[in-house]
Structure 1
Amino acid sequence: MNANPIQRLYELGQSAWLDFISRDLLTSGELRRLVQRDGLRGVTSNPTIFQKAIAGSADYDAFIDGAHPSEADAAVLERIMVRDLQLACDELFPIYERTGGTDGFASIEVSPVLAHETVGSIDQAQRLWTAVGRPNLMVKIPATREGLPAIEQCLVEGININVTLLFGVPRYLEVVKAYLRALETRAAQNRAIDRVASVASFFVSRVDTKVDKILDMLAPSAAAERGKSLRGKIAIANAKVAYAEFERIAASDRWHELAAKGARPQRLLWGSSSSKDPAYPDTYYVEALAGPRTVNTMPLETFRAYLDHGRPEIRIIRDRDLAFEQIAELVNLGIDFDAIVQTLEDEGVASFIESYDKAVHSISGKRRQRRSA
C-alpha cells in the first residue's frame, strides 16, 4: 500500500501530531484509526480546545454531574483534562514504545493564569505529571519570561515539557539554553537524561495575521509596495530562521557531549499551522515547514486536508538567505518585529486565560442547570 502524505512526512523526518482532543475522539475509536490508518503520532491540547469540547457537546456532562457539590469548578476542569490525557497517552503508548520515546506523546497545559508565575507553574506541572501518571505525557508551559525557569526546573525533575507560545527566535534560544542546562544538571547529578523529552512549540500563522495587517496599513510608497510583497512570508521566514538555529545548536560540541550521554534533541514543533487567511491554501504552512527532526501539530481539519492533498517535500531549508532578508526588510520598513512578537505572546496568554475562564464557567453553568432541574 502506498504511503499517504502524513506517512510520507514521517519518512522525511517530520511527525504529524493532532492539535485537538475531545472525549468522543478518545472513546469512539477515531484517535486509534488516525494513528493506525493515517500515521498520526501525537496529540496536543490547550485551554481553547477543552473549552470548545466542554461547551460544545454533552460528552462531559456525566463526568460533571458526578462531581461532589463541594468540588470547585476549576478542580473539575482539571480532572476532565487529566482523564482525557490519560486516555490519549494510553492510545499513543504503542508509538512511544516503538519509537523509543521519540513520538507517541500527548500534551496537557498548565493553567494560563499561571503564565507569569514561576512557582505556581512548577507546582501545577508537578501535580499534572503525577496525576496523569504516564511516561508519554508532556506538560505545556508558556515561554514567558517567568515560564523559563519553571521549564528548566521541571526538566531537571524529569518532567517532559512542551514549551508553548513561542513566537520569536530570541526567546526560542533562551528556551534551548534552559533545555541544555537542565540536561547538564541532571547529568552532573548522575541522573538519566535519555528519556527526558521536550519540544519547542513555535507558533506560525498568527505571525502572518499580525504582520499582514501592519503591511496593509503602510502609507502608499515604493517601500510600502515592497512591504506588501512580504504578505504571507514572514511567519515562514521566522520559522526558517529558528530552524537554522536548531541546526546550529545540533552541530555544537555542547550538544554532542549531551547526545553521547543519551540526550534527545528538543525538536521544533510548528504550532498554529492552520491558514487563518482564506487567501492562503489550507495546507500552506504545513507544506512550507516540512523538514527533518520537526513536529507539526495540526487542527483536525488541517490534518484531513493534508491527508487529502498534501505534497510532502523538504522545504524548511530552502531559501534560507531569503528568509533572513525578509525579516531584515521589516526593520527597513520601520516595523518593530520584536514588539510584534511580544504582543503575540501577550495576546496568546490572554486568549488562553479567556478560554480557561469560559471552560470553568461552562462547567459552572451545567452544574447549576442540574441542581435546578
Structure 2
Amino acid sequence: MGRLNDLAAKGQAVWLDFVDRKFLEAGGLQKLVDEDGLTGVTSNPSIFEKAMGHGEAYDAALAEYDKANPGASTMARYEHLAIQDIQAAADTLRPVYDRLDAKDGYVSLEVSPYLAADTDATIAEAAKLWAEVDRANLMIKIPGTPQGVPAIAATIDAGINVNVTLLFSIDAYKAVALAYVAGLEKRAERGEPIDRIASVASFFVSRIDTRIDDAIDARVKDGDAESEALKAVRGKVAIANAKLAYAWYEEFITSDRWQALAARGAMPQRLLWASTGTKNPDYPDTLYLDTLIGADTVNTVPPKTLDAFRDHGSVAETLSADVDGARHTLAETERLGLDLSGVTDALVEEGVHSFAKAFDDLLGAIAAKHPEAVA
C-alpha cells in the first residue's frame, strides 16, 4: 500500500490520463490497478494522436481492418482502432467496476471534437459510440460547452454514462451538474432505473494558473504595492477555483432536489480534476494532486505525475481546507482585474480548437499509413 492507494481512504479515485496499445498489451494498466489501486482511464484526441500517429504499434491492426474493409474512411479506421483500445481498457477495469458496484472502474472515450458546437450531432455520436464499444463501464466524453449542456442531459436520459470535459469555470460546472440531474429526473419520471448511471465533471486546473500567472508576471514591478498583491495570488487561482466548485457540490448534494434522486439510488456526479500535470517548473510536480484531495472526487493523472505522486506526494484532506482563503484569492483576482471569467471562456474555446487540431493530426497520420484510403 502506497500513497496512491491511500487516496482511496480519503474518498478520491485515481484515473490514468493515458491510453496506448503497447502499454495495454504489456499489462501496464493491470499493474497500476493491482499495485496502485487505479480505478479509471481517460482518453482524448491528443492522447490518441500521440499513441496512433507515431510508431508502428497500430499498423498490423490497421492493415487487417483495411483488408476486411476496403475503401473505409479515415474516420472509420480511427474509430476501429480507438474502440479496440477502449474495449481492452474497459475489460481490464471490469473487475473494479463489479467490485465497486458501478461506482468506479470507468474508461472514457470522447465524441468528435468537430461536433462541440452541434448539440444534436453530439447526442447521436454519443449513442453511436456507446453502442459500438458495448461496455457498461464506458463513459462518453462530451464538452461542457453551451451546446454540450443539453447533449449531456439527453445522453444521461438515454442511460449512457457521461464524462463532461473542458470545464474551467464554476458557472459552467453548475450548468452541467444540473444537466446531469435533469437527465436523471427524466428517467425517474418514466420509472426507469437511475442507480447505475455514472458521470464525472472534468474541471481543468493547471491551464488556469498558466494563463493567470502570465498576466501577473507582465504587470509585476519591484516594490509596487499592487505587485505584492498580484504575487500573493500567483499559483493559487486554479486551486481556489476548484475548491469553490467543490464547496458548491457539497452544498448541492444536501439539497432536496438531489436527495430525491439519491433516495432512488442515484450516484452523485463526481468532480474530476483534469490538467493536473504541473506546467510551471517553479511549482511542485504534485501540486495539483496534493492540494485537491477530497471525498467523491477523481484525479485523472498523466503517467509522469502519477510516478511523482507515488514517490513523494502528500496525502491529506486538502480540498475542504481553508475555503475562506480560496474565496479571498478569487476576490483578489477580481479586484486586481485578472479577468478569471475571460480566461476560462478563452480556455474552453482553445481547448476545443486544440482537440480538433489533434484530431486533424491524428486522422492525417492514419490516412498517411494507407494513402489509397478514402479521406
TM-score bin (small chain): over 0.9
Amino acid of the residue matched to residue 226 of structure 2? A
Q: For 2:372 and 2:265, how far apart are their aligned partners in 1?
A: 53
8 Å Cα contact 1:142-1:163 kept in structure 2? yes
Aligned to 2:287: 284
Give the whole-Å Cα distance in 1 for the aligned partners of 2:158 and 2:56.
Answer: 37
Query: Number of paired residues?
Result: 368
Structure 2 unaligned segments of length 5 or more: list them.
Answer: none
Opposite residue 260 of structure 2, the aligned amino acid is E
The correspondence of residues 167-186 of structure 1 with structure 2, limited to 5 A, is: 167-186=168-187
Which portions of structure 1, spanning 4 or more consecutive aligned residues, are displaced by more than 2 angstroms?
A: none
> What do the CA deviations read for 1:27-84 (whole angstroms, capped 9, x no partner)?
1111111101121110000000000001222111112222234111111111111111
Match of 1:52 among 50, 53, 58: 50
For 1:108, what is the secondary structure of its paired residue? Answer: strand
Equivalent in the alignment of 1:4: 2
CA distance in 2, matches of 1:238, 1:219: 22
Asked if 2 retains the 8 angstrom alpha-carbon contact of 1:144 and 1:345, the reply is yes
Mean CA deviation greater in 132-141 or 298-307: 298-307
Q: Answer yes or no: is the 8 Å Cα contact 1:224–1:333 preserved in 2.
A: no
Partner of 1:316: 319
1:125 and 2:126 matched: yes
Q: CA deviation at 1:13?
A: 0.5
**Within 5 A, what are the aligned runs for 1:26-105?**
26-66=24-64, 67=66, 68-105=69-106
Tell me if structure 2 keeps the 8 A contact 1:139–1:161: yes
**Alignment match of 2:347 (pick from 339, 344, 363):** 344
Matching of residues 213-362 of structure 1 within 5 Å: 213-218=214-219, 220=221, 221-362=224-365
- The answer on whether the counterparts of 2:220 and 2:230 sit within 8 Å (CA) in structure 1 is no
Q: CA deviation at 1:366?
A: 1.4
2:219 partner SS: coil
Q: TM-score, normalised by structure 1?
A: 0.97
Unaligned runs of 5+ in 1: none
In 2, Cα distance between equivalents of 1:336 and 1:208? 12
**Matches of 2:337 and 2:312, distance apart in 1:** 38
Distance, in Å, in 1 between the alignment partners of 2:210 and 2:339 is 15
Deviation string, structure 1 residues 254-309 (Cα, Å, up to 9, x no partner): 11111000000000000001101111111111000011110000001111111111
**Match of 1:16, SS?**
strand
Distance 1:367 1:225 in 2: 57
2:220 and 2:231 in contact (8 A); partners too: no
Question: Aligned-pair distance for 1:311?
Answer: 1.6
Identity %: 46
| SS of alignment partner, residue 297 of structure 1 | strand
Aligned to 2:160: 159
Report the 3-state secondary structure (helix = DSSP H, G, I; strand = E; otherwise coil) of the residue aligned with 1:368.
coil
Secondary structure of residue in 2 paired with 1:43: strand
CA distance in 2, matches of 1:131, 1:191: 23
Give the Cα–Cα distance (whole angstroms) in 1 for the partners of residues 55 and 111 of structure 2: 23
8 Å contact kept, 1:139–1:159: yes
Task: Give, in angstroms, the shift of residue 368 of structure 1.
Answer: 2.8
Provide the rounded CA distance (Å) in 1 between the counterparts of 2:220 and 2:236. Answer: 20
Corresponding residue number in structure 2 for 1:24: 22
